[in-house]
Chain A
Amino acid sequence: GAVVSQHPSRVICKSGTSVKIECRSLDFQATTMFWYRQFPKKSLMLMATSNEGSKATYEQGVEKDKFLINHASLTLSTLTVTSAHPEDSSFYICSASRGLNQPQHFGDGTRLSIL
């Protein structure tokens, strides 16, 4: 199988806090990982694509200084929401792939609530 673990599953924190979300591929090496954001009753929107050992590629309109992505190993990528505000509250999902044009395997998502 191809298992992707995302942690934490839920975060509630105060405005101004920075929050780190981890995405791990448990049984395969993920050269590429993806971060999505999902608003209620809306589709998933790709935020950024990260390749192991290189800088992430952000989609248009996504603030790279706000959403810091690190992909330091073949099994771990992190998304840090810096100085989070209520409008950052959302459902964040990661996925991992063995490489270009290979199937993506999704984590269970992180519900982020900023008070």
Chain B
Amino acid sequence: KQEVTQIPAALSVPEGENLVLNCSFTDSAIYNLQWFRQDPGKGLTSLLLIQSSQREQTSGRLNASLDKSSGRSTLYIAASQPGDSATYLCAVYLNFNKFYFGSGTKLNVKP
């Protein structure tokens, strides 16, 4: 059974800091991995999707890496801003529509 773990569970940083969120998964036979953002009481916004054959993806200040063999992914946020405050979820996608989510990292960026 696939298990997805995110560390840390919560993170508070001052504005402007670069930060790294971690995600690990137990079964490396994934189709892709996706990072999402969830604001309180809201649904999910997809940030980055990495196919199993890729090593990283970048979008603006966000960079996600994937090391499938070791079962790890990181989300790097450069020059953090208060507007980045949210819960960040990683999810691994197995074939046949099986999507497993981590429990998230709650990020607070202080002005």
Binding site for B on A (CB under 8 A): 4, 6, 32, 34, 41-46, 49, 91, 93, 95, 97, 100-101, 103-109, 111
Contacts and interface: CB of A to CB of B under 8 A. Distances in A.
A106 B37 CA distance: 11
Given A42-B103, A43-B101, A100 B96 contact: yes
Contacts of A100: 96-97
Interface residues of B, number: 23
A4 B43 CA distance: 10
A101 B31 contact: yes
25 contacts: A6-B43, A32-B97, A34-B97, A42-B103, A43-B4, A43-B102, A43-B103, A44-B44, A44-B89, A44-B91, A46-B98, A49-B97, A91-B41, A93-B43, A97-B97, A100-B96, A101-B93, A101-B97, A103-B34, A103-B46, A103-B49, A106-B36, A106-B43, A106-B44, A109-B43
B44 to A, nearest CB: 4
B4 A105 contact: no
Interface of B: 4, 31, 34, 36, 41-46, 49, 89, 91, 93, 95-99, 101-104
A44 B42 CA distance: 12
Contacts of A34: 97, 99
